[in-house]
Amino acid sequence: MREAGTKAPRHAGTKGKRLPRSFFAAGPEALAPALLGQRLVRILPDGTRLAGLIVETEAYLGVEDRAAHSFGGRRTQRVKSMYQRPGTAYVYFTYGMHYCFNVVCGAVDEPVAVLIRALEPTEGLEAMRAARAGRPGKGGMVAARRDPARVVRDGELCSGPAKLCRAMSIDRSLDGADLVKDDRFFIETGRSADLEPRMIGRARRIGVDYAGDWARRELRWFVRGNPNVSRPPR
DNA sequence: ATGACGATTTACT
DNA sequence: GTAAATCGTCATA
């Protein structure tokens, strides 16, 4: 994690300790800010290690949260991962072309989670650029709009929930993965200790205007001044 | 079986 | 700022 204005992270490439299940069991409002600065790691089938520090998260509070997929106790095929153990990955497909990734953080049958909205990329940037240059999601953009040669600036590589999934090759195959045990997908201790409270911002969640009062609640946390944050508040 | 919509991103005015 | 892309999911019938 770096403050605005400083150079590349000194500890890029550093491997941390894997976060234990007890860390993930904190519940969404505690886990969302606690995940800031932690390192999300993805090992590709060919062994390439991709990683980034988490710089933006959102809490989804479950059955009473109108913005949550589990609102009202919905227990559909799509959201089944949200009802699993803390530390489970909930990956869903949306808008016909994008994936988003959440960390489940409640007891079994308590469908709460934290959406990972942005990362500061630290390892495997080349592979990320290649993944982001092509077409998104499943079917992906029409021919007229896809541009395999398009250049994605580093600050835009993982600056959104679907962008980071694209950059890190996170798709449906990782839905339900156990982040505590899985060897392709996990979270390590990063540089959260460097984050003073004043460096953490809080704001409304993005893209949930349909959720009435729940749209107004400040359930989004982000690292102030970090260029990878998807939508820095005013 | 059908229709409306989405925890988004992108290009364009 | 607006609109298009694109299809699985969900509610309704």
Give whole-number Cα distances, A220 to A10, A102, A124, A141, A170, in Å: 27, 13, 27, 29, 22
Average pLDDT, chain A: 91
Nucleotide nearest A70 (Cα, C1'): B7
pLDDT of residue A95: 97
Which one has a higher pLDDT value, A59 or A142? A59
Answer yes or no: is pLDDT of A145 > 70: no
Nucleotide nearest A166 (Cα, C1'): B9
Domain ranges for chain A: 21-223
Give whole-number Cα distances, A156 to A52, A121, A216, in Å: 13, 10, 26
CA dist A112 and A220 (Å) reads 14
pLDDT of residue A15: 77
Q: Is the CB of A93 under 7 A from strand C?
A: yes
CA dist A40 and A55 (Å) reads 11
Answer yes or no: is pLDDT of A176 > 60: yes
Confidence of residue A135 (pLDDT cuts 50, 70, 90): low
CA dist A83 and A107 (Å) reads 8
Cα torsion for A207, A37, A40, A141, to the nearest 10°? 30
Enumerate the nucleotides of strand C whose atoms come under 7 Å of any protein CB. Answer: 5-11
Query: Span A3-29, mean pLDDT?
Result: 76
Give whole-number Cα distances, A74 to A39, A70, A96, A172, A179, in Å: 31, 5, 21, 20, 24
pTM, to two decimals: 0.92
Q: Is the CB of A76 under 7 A from strand C?
A: yes
Q: Which helix (H) or strand (E) holds A102?
A: strand A98-104
Least confident range of A1-5, A178-182, A207-211? A1-5
pLDDT of residue A6: 47
Q: Is the CB of A140 under 7 A from strand C?
A: yes
Query: Span A24-53, mean pLDDT?
Result: 98
**Minimal CA–CA distance to A20: which of A185, A176, A175, A186?**
A186
Q: Is the CB of A79 under 7 A from strand C?
A: yes
Class of domain A21-223: alpha beta
Answer yes or no: is pLDDT of A137 > 70: no
- Rounded to the nearest angstrom, the gap between the alpha carbon of residue A114 and the centroid of all alpha carbons in its chain is 8
pLDDT in tens, A183-220: 999 999 998 888 999 999 999 999 999 999 999 999 99
The answer to whether A214 and A207 have CB atoms below 8 angstroms apart is no
